[in-house]
Amino acid sequence: MIRNLIFDFDGTLADTTRGIILCTQATLREMGLPVAADERIQATIGLPLRRCFELGTDTPEERLDEAVVTYRRLFDDIAVPCVTLFEGVPQTLQILRDRCLRLAIATSRSGASLEMLLRVLGIGEHFCELAATEAVEHPKPAPDLTLLLMERLGARPEETIVIGDTIFDLQMGQAAGCRVCGVTFGNQTRAELAAVRPDWIIDRFPQLLEIVQ
């Protein structure tokens, strides 16, 4: 019986893609670096921020920390106004809570950023546990965030589904022994998600209700 749902945030609960791309590109402009294409940046969403700049841009190694600091300074003004919830998220979360499921978030963004966005979007009350990237030594796709949340929840893998929009999320859940559900409305395609053989793939957030009866 499923008792616990662990969600990714970016691309799963909230559409943050445009804001992340714009903020990344603004960071590069301010630093006088080549501006990366939208597609290259989007392909790294879901990884820790420093890793996103490392893989998704031409930022030199010695300036990666500067890029992270600059991005975080610009984020509130550039990215936050672009963030919206995907269709059906608030209503579905409420129904899941009414069914007595425990909901948690495992994210590659910082805890402060996650908590701020949850307040802005008005959905923080639905989650009993949050785990951000700084809480663990090994980020996604390592299982550490999922294992930490299961420890806090007193949860077993067979009672837990991890939901995310990237293979990094799905691999994290699989490595922790959980079943996993990919969503196609985020940052990676159905074909990309299918390559890691998730238990489910859904095209709309409310379809979770069909999985968790």
List residues with catalytic annotation.
8, 10
Inter-residue long-range contacts of 71-75, CB under 8 Å, 24+ positions, other chains counted: 71/23, 71/24, 71/27, 72/110, 72/113, 74/23, 74/26, 74/27, 74/30, 75/19, 75/23, 75/113
Q: Are 35 and 191 in contact (CB under 8 A)?
A: no
Q: Are 86 and 202 in contact (CB under 8 A)?
A: no
10: which DSSP letter? B
Closest CA to 83 of 34, 121, 140: 121
Determine the residue type at 92.
T
Cα 55 to chain center, whole Å? 17
Q: Is 34 exposed, middle or buried (0-12, 13-18, 19+ CB in 10 A)?
A: exposed
Q: Are 188 and 42 in contact (CB under 8 A)?
A: no
Three-state SS for 122? coil
